[in-house]
Structure 1
Amino acid sequence: MRFPSELVATVQVTGQTPVDEDYTDYFYTQASVREPGDTGDVPTGRAARFLALQQEVIKQDFFTWENMKYLEKPNLAPEEAHDYAALRRWAHRFYPGTQPSPSDFGYTADGAPDPAAAKA
């Protein structure tokens, strides 16, 4: 994820590792552009403030993440449906069992809600 450069030029990379049937370890790293003249190992100025803010803000999501459950046919926001449905189809190939059809996960291949899924 890239943040608007008006804040401070920053890149964030996240990764998740399933550890069992119920839990996933979540990792993230973030890097920001240094202030002019900043050559130390520890960020200063706007970069330091932005990184500190992100470390606090992410804690607000812990409750949600700790209580999430996998839903076969989730109710996704329209602007996210296409990408999440594509990600689920791609990831499904790594699990045993049948391969997904274009309408699996409650969304068609183009990301539109699948009317047939609502009846299932």
Structure 2
Amino acid sequence: MIKFAVGYNRRGIDETVTKTQKNEDNSSTQQALMHREQCFKVVAGAIKSVSEGAIVDLKSPEVAILVEVLPISGVPIGSSVAGVSVLPAELFSAKPRLCVKALVSDTKAKKK
């Protein structure tokens, strides 16, 4: 049985959408971005199809799946591009929220 958590981030998307809407007269042609809940359902379904006994555990997951929706130059507005990372427990912390641990220590902070 695998315990997993899913993180979701829309990096820079809101700024791109706002800028595009200002430049276009008809913003109705723009597709809606994937909603957070829909993303969670898709990822959870994929994990459960690989491992039948997989369960969501937000307090002590063994694996974290991080999804970042990114604006990419040259990709049509309204198209979603996402980066997906699957990280073992050693590379992330789940408290107070799901985030990637620093791979190297901050030497400047140690000197102070």
Q: What TM-score range do you get, normalising by the shorter chain? A: under 0.3
Q: Which protein, 1 or 2, shows the higher relative CO under an 8 Å CA cutoff with sep ≥ 6? A: 2
Q: Which has the larger radius of gyration?
A: 1
Q: State TM-score, norm by structure 2.
A: 0.25
Greater helix share, structure number: 1
